[in-house]
Structure 1
Amino acid sequence: MNEHISKIIDQRQLVSVMNKTKWRELCGSFSGSDSVSPEIRYKLIFGESIYGFSAVWWDEVFRDCVAIEWMDFDPFNHEFRGQLVSKKKIEIRNEIFEIFEKYNIPYSIEGGFYRVWGYIDRHVSPQFV
């Protein structure tokens, strides 16, 4: 972890929820899966910007994991079927849960999405499932 990230963690008094091993297991599972690739959105500890929902390269997520404050998983894949037809929603909730359970990934449910917390601060009290 670089000095800039450490300084932000200290200034904001953040507490780590995920460690490097958990991030490796989570990202590696989705990276190596042919059947499920959830869209995610995430927030970094650097600012207020929220990125996503979109498909991601999981090796890039792992590279940036030391700065991820939280990451939301969409329980549905959205399959493009054409310009005039709405996207088909395919439920992938069970596949996401299997990976969370297999590696004991702590998560909460926030607005219908499954949130994996990288860090929490004193103002946040997630209800972990």
Structure 2
Amino acid sequence: MNEKYRKIINERQLVSVMNKTKWRELCHDFEKLHSLYIRVKYKLISSEEILGFSAVWWNEIYEESSAIEWIDFNPIISKYRGRLVAPKETDMSYEILAILKKHGIKYSMEGSYFRVWGYLNQHTNPVFV
């Protein structure tokens, strides 16, 4: 692990929820799903900025996994079909949940999003599903 991240983890008294194996399994299965349309947003431990909602390259998420505080999955995929036609919406909840359950990855519901936690602190009390 990067020394910069180790320092942040110690200063903020963060506790890891995910390990490299779980991150690898999660990223591998989402990449295998061949869905670049699944949108995620995530927060790194080194910043207050929230990145996303956008499609991601799962190998890049895996590379950053040791610094991800949390990642939200938007289960609704919206495909543009033209100016005169409403976007086509597809619910990917089943596919997302199947991957999370397959690997025993705990998650919480944040509104309509599935949140996978990388780290928790003493002030974070998610309700895991």
TM range (shorter): over 0.9
The residue type paired with residue 96 of structure 2 is: I
**Shift, 1:105, TM fit:** 0.7
SS, match of residue 10 in structure 2: helix
- TM-score, length-normalised on structure 2? 0.95
> What are structure 1's unaligned runs of at least 5 residues?
none
Q: 1:6 and 1:123 mapped to 2: Cα distance? A: 19
Q: How many residues align?
A: 129
Q: 1:92 and 1:36 mapped to 2: Cα distance? A: 12
1:125 and 2:125 are equivalent in the alignment? yes
Aligned residue in 2 for 1:61? 61
**Shift, 1:87, TM fit:** 2.1
**Shift, 1:9, TM fit:** 0.2
The residue type paired with residue 60 of structure 2 is: E
Contact 1:36/1:92 (8 A) holds in 2 = no
Q: 1:100 and 1:77 mapped to 2: Cα distance? A: 18
> Residues 45-84 of structure 1 correspond to what in structure 2 (within 5 A)?
45-84=45-84
> Residues 2-41 of structure 1 correspond to what in structure 2 (within 5 A)?
2-34=2-34, 37-41=37-41
Q: 2:85 and 2:8 mapped to 1: Cα distance? A: 45
Q: 1:97 and 1:9 mapped to 2: Cα distance? A: 28
User: What is the Cα-based RMSD across aligned positions, in Å?
Assistant: 1.3
Q: 2:61 and 2:18 mapped to 1: Cα distance? A: 13
Calculate percent identity across the aligned residue pairs: 53
Q: 1:62 to 1:35 in 2, by over 3 A?
A: closer
**Shift, 1:84, TM fit:** 3.9
Once superposed, which parts of structure 1, at least 4 consecutive aligned residues long, lie more than 6 Å away?
none
**Greater Cα shift, 117-126 or 29-38:** 29-38
Q: 1:126 and 1:46 mapped to 2: Cα distance? A: 20
Aligned residue in 2 for 1:87? 87
- TM-score, length-normalised on structure 1? 0.95
SS, match of residue 122 in structure 2: coil
Contact 1:24/1:62 (8 A) holds in 2 = yes
Contact 1:73/1:114 (8 A) holds in 2 = yes
The residue type paired with residue 127 of structure 2 is: Q
